[in-house]
Amino acid sequence: MAPGFEMNTQEVDGHAKTACELAEQLRSARTTWDGATRDGGNACGMDITSKAYTAMQDAWFDEIGVYISVLEQLCEAMHTAAQQSGSDDDAAAQALTAGRGGQGVQ
């Protein structure tokens, strides 16, 4: 790894798990909300609000869907970075050692 830069892969992986858990919690909240209130007119007690309520909910679902997607991508990228970091460092050390006739990095 570059001088002056240190990465704790367990900590990165832990933060990735946090992103995964938050995405799942948002997905669960969205599903629960949808099941309980999909018919806006019934949820509010007025049929007139049905179309406006459904449009608002659809927009909210679209917005929260973006957050879920970004958190899932962040989760996957952080897991991958944590897993690859150690193997990249090992490969770099081996390459430097081999390039110096087996003397290692000086």
**Of 34, 19, 28, 12, which is closest to residue 69 (Cα–Cα)?**
19
Average pLDDT over residues 67-93: 85
Q: How much is the pLDDT for 106?
A: 47
For residue 68, pLDDT over 70 is answered with: yes
- What does pTM read for this prediction? 0.55
CA–CA separation, 105 and 44 (whole Å) = 70
Q: Angle at which helices 50-99 and 9-37 pack, to 10 degrees?
A: 160
pLDDT in tens, 19-33: 999 999 999 999 988
Which of 23-27, 55-59, 80-84 comes out lowest in average pLDDT?
80-84
